Amino acid sequence: MAPSEALDQVLAVAEAALRSWQPEATGFLDLEERLAVEPVLQQRSGLHWCSSGGIVPSERQRLLLAREELPLMEVSMDFALVELKGNFLFDPAELEDFEAALLTTGLDSRGWGDVIPLGENGAQLIATPACAAALDGRSLQVRTVTVEAAAAPWSRLRRQARHPRPITTVEASCRLDAVASAGLGLSRARMVAAITAGRVRLNGRTVLRPHIELHPGDRVVLRGRGELHLQSRTLTRRQRWRLQLLRC
């Protein structure tokens, strides 16, 4: 969804929340869409909001909007779990493969959030209850594998919260591909491929150039692999960079 389209839909939900005096939830938005939407929401008086993706951390999140007089801490958004079961032993699938299959269903992409790949067993999907009900019992084609979608109780969620982990590394440069490769545990070639494929965001924006130089405070997100914060960089006597990173 284009940020402008996402903005139109969120503003419609905001107007409904202001009129009804009831909290109203949007569909799922990715980080780039939220960065485009939230500054506009801040300019609208009498409105506040919170966000959640159903799991922590989450890449796609919904916004819950309400009049400022209404507390949001006491209101929760509804999330559902869908299992995408298939045998991927001989044809491993990436996060993007599952997303491509979901797009063929004709369902509104605002209905689903994060995809949680489970290796050879398929994946799990965070969704709205309505989207989960629409997917339940359907078959999807993911690469060469037929996948059965089934609504599942939340207790079967396989995602475990990631704990921030500090990393110290010494690199020849502060290029995006070099730093992200060291911090996220991927080969340099795989990281370059991920960047050029549009899977990497720098400070919330999609980047396609591996050679961008990073600076302290920069945040790198690789879809499906987590987030990396560059906390500091120091030039050594051998003209290499000692980097303090935090992987989330």
Ordered by where they begin, the domains of the chain are: 3-67 (3.30.1370.160), 80-156 (3.30.70), 165-247 (3.10.290.10)
pLDDT at 1 > cutoff 80: no
Tokens of 242: 């000692």
Rounded CA-CA distance 221/228 in Å is 6
Cis peptide before 57 (omega within 30 of 0): yes
User: pLDDT value at position 189?
Assistant: 95
pLDDT in tens, 190-201: 999 999 988 899
pLDDT at 32: 87
DSSP single-letter state for residue 213: B
- Cα–Cα distance, 205 to 185 (Å, whole number): 21
Pairing of strands 139-142, 61-67: unpaired
pLDDT, tens digit (0-9, with 9 covering 90-100), for 9-51: 999 999 999 999 999 999 999 988 998 999 999 998 899 999 9
Q: Where are the alpha helices (DSSP H) in 30-74?
A: 31-42
User: What is the DSSP-derived secondary structure letter of residue 233?
Assistant: E
* Cβ atoms < 10 Å from Cβ of 41: 17
Quote the CA–CA distance of 79 and 130 in Å, as a whole number: 9
DSSP-derived secondary structure for 175-237: BHHHHHHHHHT--HHHHHHHHHTT-EEETTEE---TTPBP-TT-EEEETTTEEEEEEEEEE-T
Residue range 81-109: mean pLDDT, rounded = 95
0.75 exceeded by pTM: yes
Q: What pLDDT is recorded for position 225?
A: 82
pLDDT for 176: 97
Distance CA 217, CA 245 (A): 10
With cut-offs at 50, 70 and 90, classify the pLDDT of residue 2: low
